[in-house]
Amino acid sequence: GKGNYRHFMEKELHEHPAVLGDTLRQYLDPGTLEVRLPRLPFDPAKVPRLTLTACGSAFLAAHVGRYWIEKLARIPCDADVASELRYRDPPLPEGGAAILVSQSGETADTMAALKLLKEGGQKVLSIVNVPESTMARSSDAALLTVAGPEVGVASTKAFTAQLAVLACLAVGFGRARKQISQVDEGRLTQALLSVPSFAAEILDRDAEIRALAAEVAKARDVLFLGRGSLFPIALEGALKLKEISYIHAEGYAAGEMKHGPIALIDSAVPVIALCPSGPLFEKTCSNLQEAAARGGRVMAFTDAQGAPALRRFAEHVIELPTVGAFSAPILHAIPVQLLAYHVAVLKGTDVDQPRNLAKSVTVE
């Protein structure tokens, strides 16, 4: 049941800390601060290329996975939605491998991609939430997210659990390829082990996010911006808002705004930015200033170090804990999902069962 929550989605959002803890404990050792992966169907030290594919939010998790794996392990990665990968007839390398991501393990497009990848000689590793699903059984190996049943049609806790598994894989691959040292591994696993408590802290900002939602609920169009590994999270924010509140939203790489979408900006369009401090902050901040200069209403998620610069021109600044670049995508997914939830509640839509959508899409 829903317990004391109004919707399954609200309940599932509040399960983020527990689910992240349970999932991370499967793949890393808090004692030795090492990643602990089960036997994989390919050797990460030798694999020439990885194909990451999935649909919807699961694809956005795979998209973040590409940023992490390329950065930490230096393995060339290709990330594409399953319904495109299938028809693109991609050249698949000998000895290559694929990572598929799915909550249900039954998504028809992802299953069709699995078949194509296997026929192309790729070893298939899937990240799934339902252990007995078709995808888990048809893959060479399956890594489970420990998210428990997800009832709300919009994916929430399963998405962050997928990110947690991908983060562990990236660190494990980085070690296997000698791209990161044991000290780096310790630092990265430590960052991941802090994720559940940061997630709880972010959920405590509920009232602040609800206030932001009251503004967003009045909009007809919303723009989400992020750079680097936060770009897919901007896409996740836009997807979730569209799907449950029916407000038109777009996610963009922050640097792409000036190449077109800036034409949309006026005082009616909230620009929601994922902009934590770090090496990408300055550039993103100046993109946002350009939006503000055109009357755009900038609403930014940042941290203590980023807040002062943003407060000079942003309408709303939500200060999240300082989490570091590696775990930032996991922790920024939570406020954007929570924002979509509150907007949908204010709009009075059917949060758990949005129109035209099904929990598991079994047609291609």
What are the catalytic residues? 359
Instruction: Select from 48, 53, 326 the least CA-distant residue to 177.
Output: 48
DSSP 93-137: -TT-EEEEEESSS--HHHHHHHHHHHHTT-EEEEEES-TTSHHHH
Binding to ligand F6R (CB under 6 A) within 176-195 occurs at: none
Nearest residue (CB) to ligand F6R, 58 versus 116: 58
Q: Does 51 bind ligand F6R (CB under 6 A)?
A: no
Determine contact, residues 166/188, Cβ cutoff 8 Å. no
Nearest residue (CB) to ligand F6R, 166 versus 310: 166
68-76, 100-108, 263-271, 274-282 -> range binding ligand F6R (CB under 6 A): 100-108
Binding to ligand F6R (CB under 6 A) within 139-158 occurs at: 154-155
Nearest residue (CB) to ligand F6R, 153 versus 176: 153
Binding to ligand F6R (CB under 6 A) within 54-93 occurs at: 55-58
- What's the min distance (Å) between Cβ of 152 and ligand F6R? 8
Contacting residue, 23, 51, 107, 122, with ligand F6R by CB under 6 A: 107
Kind of pairing between the strands at 270-274 and 77-81: unpaired
Determine contact, residues 126/142, Cβ cutoff 8 Å. yes
- What's the min distance (Å) between Cβ of 135 and ligand F6R? 8
| CA 101/CA 130 separation, integer angstroms | 11
Residues 6+ apart with CB under 8 A from 160: 16, 19, 20, 199, 330, 333, 334
Residue nearest to ligand F6R (CB): 56
5-13, 38-46, 97-105, 310-318 -> range binding ligand F6R (CB under 6 A): 97-105
3-class DSSP state of 279? coil
Nearest residue (CB) to ligand F6R, 242 versus 294: 242
Contacting residue, 51, 104, 145, 229, with ligand F6R by CB under 6 A: 104
Cβ count near 88 (within 10 Å): 10
| CA 113/CA 50 separation, integer angstroms | 14
Determine contact, residues 19/146, Cβ cutoff 8 Å. yes
Phi then psi for residue 149, to 5 deg, are -60, 135
- What's the min distance (Å) between Cβ of 249 and ligand F6R? 13
Both ends of the chain: CA-CA distance in Å? 31
Q: Give the per-residue contact string, 203-242, with ligand F6R (x = CB under 6 A; - = no).
A: ------------------------------------xx--
Determine contact, residues 47/95, Cβ cutoff 8 Å. yes
- What is the token pair recorded at 12? 């599932």
- What's the min distance (Å) between Cβ of 340 and ligand F6R? 9
Contacting residue, 78, 243, 303, 352, with ligand F6R by CB under 6 A: 243
Nearest residue (CB) to ligand F6R, 79 versus 314: 79
- What's the min distance (Å) between Cβ of 102 and ligand F6R? 3
- Site residues, ligand F6R (CB under 6 A): 55-58, 102-104, 107, 110, 154-155, 239-240, 243, 360-361
